[in-house]
Amino acid sequence: MTQLSGIQKLLKSFSYAIEGMMHTLNTQRNMRIHFGVAFLAMILALFLDLSKTEIILLFFSIVLVVAAELFNTAIEAVVDLVTRDYHPLAKTAKDVAAAAVLLTAGHAVIVGFFVFADKIVPLHLRHWDATGGMAVYVAFIPLGLLVLLLISWRAYLRFKRNHT
């Protein structure tokens, strides 16, 4: 039996990581969607005049979404390994992992909007010029608050229904 060298072990661990990525790409439709959108975003980044900060934010967002989807797939696999029967905790684990993916994907959409919007369709409406075009960006704040309030309200109603 031959022992692997340190470099061989490192290369083997990279191989396992690539296998995990390939498994997720082959079995998870959402990962293929994330990769497709990431590919388009990177193609756009090649042709638009992005700052170093914008490129970093773009790559950070892509990695965040892909990592969340990988964790989601891992959690689903472990839950399925432990039980095939319905169990509320299994459902909770899967739902929470899916929520993490949704949150990171929403973050990526917002980052993509901020990075690409002005470069693709420059906003030159007169009443926005006084604010430096910030009105459209500031609109994300109440939209984000609305989403948080709706989710919180739905969670409150479910909690109330389950505890009465």
Which positions are catalytic?
69
User: Residue 16 annotated as binding?
Assistant: yes
User: Residue 137 annotated as binding?
Assistant: no
User: Residue 95 annotated as binding?
Assistant: yes
Place of tokens 């309200």: 153
What's at 133, amino acid-wise? G
User: Residue 94 annotated as binding?
Assistant: yes
Binding residues for ATP: 16, 76, 94-95
